[in-house]
Structure 1
Amino acid sequence: MANAAQPVLGGPDFLRLLARLSDGAMPATSPALTDRLGQWVDWNRAVALSAALTGRLPEPGGAGEAADDVLADCAQAEASLQASIHDDAEAERLLDLAEAAAAPNFASLRQRYLVLQRAIQTATGRLRGRLREQLVQVSPALARLAEVDAVMEQTLSPREHALLATAPAVLGTRFERVHGQPGWRAPFRHDMRSLLLAELELRFHPIHGLLAALRSH
């Protein structure tokens, strides 16, 4: 039993949820970002990050869209995605069909999860780019922050995508395990919703950081 995997205790809620849903089949701890970052940054991106951190401060750009518009759009997009996840009638319909089926089939629910996952990715990627464009308009210091964020996104996105891509498989395994058990439908729907909300929180984390920087000026 000494080698048994333990739930992830630290890190984002998304990791803790994956650990719980996979019944502890994930590593006991996630390597600290500072310990792993050097392994993830290739030479070209390391040079780009160094330039963004130590190079000459860029001058503010020309007039762009109003900061209030960007702030409002970020808040509206996050609220809209949260509502879509909470009030997903299509997922409820698919669960009804799965409950009535003699043989469990996760394929349709997996596709629905992927649709919502892509919606989160598309919206957050677009907003993050708009925020960087807005930061460039404000001050040289915030323009540097935008440069650093762009390099960090390019560096960490492949790892983030690989992690997030495991979610449908973990959820599918759980579906096969609980389908047909008494009262399985509501807890499974809760797990699916919670995992999507945790992913939304994870993807909005850098956006909230950029928003905080923008609001401070």
Structure 2
Amino acid sequence: MARASQRGPVPGPAFIRQLARLTDAQIPQPTAALSDRLGQWVDWNRALVLSKALDGALPPPDTSAPPFDEAAEQECARVRAALVESIVQDPLPAQPKPREQEASSPPDYAPFRQRYQSLQRAMLSSTGRLRGRLRDMLAQQSQDKARLAEVDAVMEMTLSPREQALLARVPDLLGEHFQRLRPAVAETRDPDGPPETGAEPASQAWLLTFHADMRQTLLGELEVRFHPIDALLAALRTS
């Protein structure tokens, strides 16, 4: 089995640390300020839209939106808990049934990829809906908060495409981790030895390890997707 490479601690949220742990990539220390890096992601026309949101006249509040109350906060908690449960309780994806001559074929990553992408779509849909509703509620509370809601809308429009493109690469990184785990276990088996016995033979133990890693990665991604929602909730709670 290949020995894990030694590296220093990786800065950043738990999601980034988890990805660094599962990959061989060396993540460099940031060399530019956050504002400079954001400037590389925002083109000039979107920068104008952001400037207008920061300095321009505010649109009239949407009085049709429901006010922020305990029920709205409970709905955010309920959605988050449901997504966590769907990740934690997710079973091992079913593998395609091999043909008789391929009975010893190793498991395929494709079902894991499909499941990860399905859970990503569920997170994107749920968090996007909550974020829009919270912005509508925020815009009713005061002029300053209405401006904050508009800035958040512009930032979502500006940064979400890049965020989604980066998150779409996570299944590829997990696929590489899947491939590294599989041969590492296969090399430790004696092909002339007795068949595996026990509740969790080696041929399944590595799959359970990978499934646990995938689950932790999904939970880290969920935390990242909820950062804007947590920020909007904090703004809504302040007087």
User: Per the shorter chain, which TM-score range?
Assistant: 0.7 to 0.9
Q: For 2:211 and 2:224, how far apart are their aligned partners in 1?
A: 20
What RMSD over aligned residues (CA atoms) do the two structures have, in Å? 2.5
Per-residue CA deviation, residues 68-115 of structure 1 (Å, 9 max, x unaligned), is 2322211111111001100113xx2437989x9622310011101110
Question: Percent same amino acid among aligned pairs?
Answer: 52
Cα deviation, residue 29, structure 1: 3.0
Query: Could you state the TM-score of these two structures normalised by the residue count of structure 2?
Result: 0.79
Match 2:123 to one of 95, 120, 124? 120
Secondary structure, counterpart of 1:184 in structure 2:
helix
Q: For 1:9 and 1:159, how far apart are their aligned partners in 2?
A: 22
Structure holding more helix per residue:
1
Which stretches in structure 2 are left out of the alignment for 5+ residues?
186-201
Secondary structure, counterpart of 1:66 in structure 2:
coil
Partner residue, 2:56: 55
Match 1:154 to one of 152, 157, 170? 157
Change in 2 beyond 3 A, CA 1:210/1:34: same
Cα deviation, residue 161, structure 1: 1.0
State whether residues 127 and 229 of structure 2, in contact with CA within 8 Å, keep that contact through their aligned partners in structure 1: yes
Partner residue, 1:105: 108
Q: For 1:7 and 1:29, how far apart are their aligned partners in 2?
A: 10
Partner residue, 2:86: 84
Matches within 5 A, 1:173-188: 173-179=176-182, 181=185, 182=202, 183-188=205-210
Q: How many residues in Structure 1 have an aligned counterpart in Structure 2?
A: 210
Per-residue CA deviation, residues 24-80 of structure 1 (Å, 9 max, x unaligned), is x14323555322111111111111111111223455432421312322211111111
State whether residues 60 and 143 of structure 1, in contact with CA within 8 Å, keep that contact through their aligned partners in structure 2: yes
Change in 2 beyond 3 A, CA 1:58/1:8: farther
Letter in structure 2 aligned against 1:206: P
Query: Could you state the TM-score of these two structures normalised by the residue count of structure 1?
Result: 0.87
Over alpha carbons, which structure has the higher Rg?
2
Which stretches in structure 1 are left out of the alignment for 5+ residues?
none
Higher relative contact order (CA 8 A, sep 6+): 2
